[in-house]
């Protein structure tokens, strides 16, 4: 089995840099979300999207549709696209685009991180806010500057490392119910 060093977060960010437009979208979305959560904005937060992303073309088409919908409902709703690249597993199964971007058990993590970062950049440049679940505590170093909202899922909400990670993220973080309901 061949091993190779993983690209560092700074190398990936230099390779796929945050554009001014994407930065504006992310920061604006985070501020709007903060106001909703603080009760200063009475709009409803809607996080919409697939269980996980595995097809870039479909994700961009969906983002385009959400952008149009968002324009129509912006006075009553803030729409954030669910863009999940990691899937928690209690048993064997596909762990998500970051870990297996080619859906062939190749575990091309570097390729998955590049695809995820590139896709998030495109989604933000379209004017759509992106939300994701961070499972691996290292992944935010590669993607957090492109995320408006994140979540800690049911399988990890009781994990100390994930709660600590969440407290260090520069975005609103939602917590799902624990596995006991």
pLDDT per residue as tens digits for the range 14-55:
999 999 999 999 999 999 999 999 999 999 999 999 989 999
The DSSP bridge partners found for residue 150 are 132, 173
Asked if 29 and 127 count as a contact pair (C-beta separation under 8 A), the reply is no
Element (H, E) at 174: strand 173-175
Question: What domains can you pick out in the chain, each with its CATH number?
Answer: 21-173 (3.20.20.70)
Kindly give, in sequence order, each residue whose CB lies less than 8 Å from that of residue 128, ignoring residues fewer than 6 positions away: 25, 63, 66, 67, 70, 79, 81
Per-residue pLDDT reduced to its tens digit, 59-96: 999 999 999 999 999 999 999 999 999 987 666 777 89
Sheet of 149-152, strands arranged across? 44-48, 77-82, 129-133, 149-152, 173-175
Confidence of residue 150 (pLDDT cuts 50, 70, 90): very high
Could you tell me the pTM of the whole model?
A: 0.93
């Amino acid at each position: 089995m061949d091993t190779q060093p993983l690209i560092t977060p700074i190398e990936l960010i230099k390779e796929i840099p945050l554009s001014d437009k994407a930065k504006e979208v992310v920061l604006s979305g985070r501020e709007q979300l903060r106001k909703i959560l603080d009760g200063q904005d009475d709009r409803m937060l809607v996080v919409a999207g697939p269980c996980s992303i595995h097809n870039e073309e479909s994700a961009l088409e969906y983002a385009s549709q959400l952008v149009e919908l968002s324009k129509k409902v912006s006075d009553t709703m803030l729409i954030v696209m669910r863009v999940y690249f990691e899937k928690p597993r209690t048993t064997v199964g596909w762990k998500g685009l970051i870990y297996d971007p080619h859906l062939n058990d190749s575990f091309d993590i570097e390729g998955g991180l590049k695809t995820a970062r590139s896709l998030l950049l495109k989604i933000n440049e379209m004017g759509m806010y992106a939300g994701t679940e961070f499972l691996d505590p290292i992944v935010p170093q590669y993607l957090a500057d492109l995320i408006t909202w994140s979540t800690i899922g049911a399988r990890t909400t009781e994990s100390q490392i994930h709660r600590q990670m969440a407290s260090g993220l520069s975005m609103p973080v939602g917590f799902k119910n624990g596995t006991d309901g």
